[in-house]
Structure formats: structure tokens, C-alpha cells
A = this chain, B = another copy of it.
């Protein structure tokens, strides 16, 4: 896939299309749960002019990951850590891409992994929204 395509599909996946009722069905989470996870800053759904939450496909993906980890006994704090690390490591990766070799990068990511695994054993299975679109 070209980087152009990657960028525009990222755009589509982050478009706020879905009301909470749809997200409830897709994830089998309650509204209370979804709002609670937002309260803890695990997701940041868009708001309409009238203050209704509107969710993207990425949000649904994230919620499925959260659900997964909770079911595996990871608590909010743990999930936050995992997400922080993910963000950090993808920033690192983006930055590193232009500076270092692949093998050096893999080495760094292995070290990051160890850091997290010391604290908990999260499921790293990726969210499964791919079921719901093309």
C-alpha cells in the first residue's frame, strides 16, 4: 500500500461516524462502560455541536482492545500504560525510521517491550474491527 493510501485510510478510520448506540452493539459494551473509559482518557470521541459523542472506527477498535484486556484481568491503570507505550513506541518508530537501521529499531522495541512486561502481561491481540468494514 502506498503511503498516500495509508494516510487517507487512516483519515477514514478516524472519521466520527457512529453514535453510542451503534458502538454498544459493535462492542457489546454498555453506555456506562464506554463513558467510563472515556472518563479515564482511553478514548476521545468527537462531540457534535449538541454534545453527542460520535465515534470513529479507530475508537471501536480501541474499545475492543480495552474489553479484551479487562477480560484478561488488566485494570484501567494497566491499560493506560499499554496505550501510552504504544503511542510512545510508534512515535519512536516514526522518528527512528529516518535515522537508524531496521535491526537497531527492533533492538530498541525489544527493550520497550521488556519494560512493560515487567509490570503486567497484557493481551496484545489487536482489536478486531476489520470484521466491520471492507
Contacts and interface: CB of A to CB of B under 8 A. Distances in A.
The contact size tier of chain A is 10 to 19
A22 B18 CA distance: 8
Interface string A81-99: 0000000000000000000
Contacts of A21: 48
B54 A9 contact: no
Given A17-B18, A21-B48, A12 B134 contact: yes
Interface of A: 8-9, 12-13, 15, 17-19, 21-22, 26, 48, 54, 57, 130-134
List the 7 closest pairs (A to B, CB-CB), nearest first. Answer: A133-B133, A134-B134, A133-B134, A17-B22, A12-B132, A19-B19, A12-B133
